[in-house]
Chains A and B, each alone.
Chain A
Amino acid sequence: MEEYKFKGTGTVVTFTTIYTATEDFDRQTPYNLAIIRLDEGPRLTGQIVSSADKVKIGMRVSPVFRILGKEGDRGIIYYGTKFVPVEEPNVDGPK
């Protein structure tokens, strides 16, 4: 076994916007959840931080480090990876 670090960039395979969640995620609704195919091949499930109408199948995403959840006000805070849409370079528009 050898440790391998993924680039973290990938493509949206499919997605949904969640309006009713489990108790742990209830305060975050609505949020986007997607299956993402990493550029190296494997797929995983993660949130996409974006307005729902911007998320599309085939869209490129990159990773961001975010809080995923908290165990109450004084409990453990869980951190992990979420994803954001990759801004496509707009060659014609202003910088």
Chain B
Amino acid sequence: MRSVSIIGVGCTKFGERWDVSLRDMVAEAGVLAIDDSNLIGEQIDALYVGNMSAGRFVEQEHIGALIADCAGLSRLHIPSTRVEAACASGGLALRQGVLAVASGYHDIVIAAGVEKMTDVSSGTAADALASAADREWECFFGATFPALYAMMARLHMRRYGTTHDQMAQVAVKNHHHGCLNPIAQYQMEITLDDVDRSPMVSDPLHVLDCSPISDGAAAVVLAPTEIARKFADTPVRIVGSGQASDTLALHDRRDITTLDATVHAAHSAFGQAGIEPKDIDVAEVHDCFTIGEILAIEDLGFVEKGQGGKAAEEGITALGGRLPINTSGGLKACGHPVGATGIKQAYEIALQLRGEAGKRQVEDAEFGLAHNVGGSGGTAIVHIMSR
């Protein structure tokens, strides 16, 4: 297998983008990434795009061909493939691109992600997102996504003494990070009190414990490491790519407060990279709900099981702390256009490793990690990157 590097990145502003369509956003992100990598269109061998549910959100399927067309590449007739793993669709697109280059089948590949979620009512959006859960055994009985994570949170609180204030601290921190990120959906500070006083969605999760409904797109350009320097001054090497699955329904898991898919994907990625969790300098993890970040840092091996809430409270995971988590603002503050999220995470880590993260730069970051979850943990994807 060949070593693979990211030679270019691009990302749109995340938020309520009523001024643009899905195709506008994916074209914008693609052009930014292609410009960043000093490529011309003819050099691109294949496209992968992560998209969860354009059929439900904008009544458009066949996103593979659509993005090749929007990017002005239809005349080249290159393969363009949409992949789907609910909220991990972006991470999966990145992994498919990595595998295609690593295997030697393709040289230059674009991995993109896009979701346009604000064209439908919030009820319709909630229902579309609920299709990432088990429709017959969870949603049929009234389960929603926040409800599934709320049930994880409730049990975590009971077992490990995690408090709602510790969860709220994740939102406060990620909003602070979001203020330093020009593409973030929310660039405003919030307080613990704001989280506590925001309306209850699914007890114990309040509105401000939840990531928002968002529009956005992101793209990265991949190449074999051996030729990466021809295109980029500072290519970012992908040193580990792990993917794992688990039961679709939360109630069937070995443990309700552990995402075993995350544990297995991380084990695989760290094994390939030949490093340990303590070697990671900066990470983007899947904080679709505040409890999600707490579970993620435990299951990725950054802290002991049960210590995630305490880590948030002590500021270890904030910028300036021992392990800055979600410097982009995470899903919480940067926004969560589901198909784009996994690629945006790679975009943020690439900026950090290139030293181009501006006000939210982590000093001398050498190793970064991106962690993307589908559903309540039916899929997890972990990428480890290095300067």
Contact = CB atoms under 8 A, between A and B. Distances in A.
B251 A22 contact: no
Interface in B135-186: 137-144, 146-147, 150-152, 154-155, 158
Contacts of A80: 140-141
Interface string B197-235: 001111111000000000000000000000000000000
B191 interface: no
Given A45-B249, A68-B140, A14 B155 contact: yes
B141 A46 contact: yes
Contact of B151 (A15, A21, A82): A15
Q: Which of A16, A33, A43, A82 has its CB near the most chain B CB atoms (within 10 A)?
A: A16
Helix, strand, loop or mixed for chain B's interface? helix
A68 B250 CA distance: 20
Contacts of A22: 123, 126-127, 130, 139, 144
Contacts, number: 97
Given A13-B256, A57-B154, A23 B124 contact: yes
B252 interface: yes
Contact of B202 (A18, A28, A47): A18
B378 to A, nearest CB: 14
Contacts of B150: 16
A35 B146 CA distance: 14
Contact of B137 (A15, A28, A45, A57): A45
B202 A57 contact: no
Q: How large is the interface on A (under 10, 10 to 19, 20 to 34, 35 or more residues)?
A: 20 to 34
Given A16-B151, A43-B252, A23 B123 contact: yes
Chain A residues touching B, majority SS: strand
A18 B199 CA distance: 12
B141 A45 contact: yes
Q: What bracket does the count of chain B residues touching chain A fall in? A: 20 to 34
A34 interface: yes
A43 B250 CA distance: 9
Contacts of A78: 140
Nearest to B124: A23
A28 B147 CA distance: 14
Contact of A47 (B141, B144, B199, B201): B141
Interface in A9-45: 13-26, 28, 31, 33-36, 43-45
Contact of B155 (A13, A18, A20, A68): A13
B127 A24 contact: yes
A42 to B, nearest CB: 8
A18 to B, nearest CB: 5
Contacts of A45: 137-138, 141, 143, 249-251
A84 interface: no
Interface of A: 13-26, 28, 31, 33-36, 43-47, 52, 57, 68-69, 78, 80, 82
Given A14-B154, A17-B202, 16 more contacts: A14-B158, A16-B205, A18-B144, A18-B146, A18-B147, A18-B201, A19-B202, A20-B144, A20-B199, A20-B201, A23-B126, A25-B142, A31-B142, A33-B141, A44-B251, A68-B141
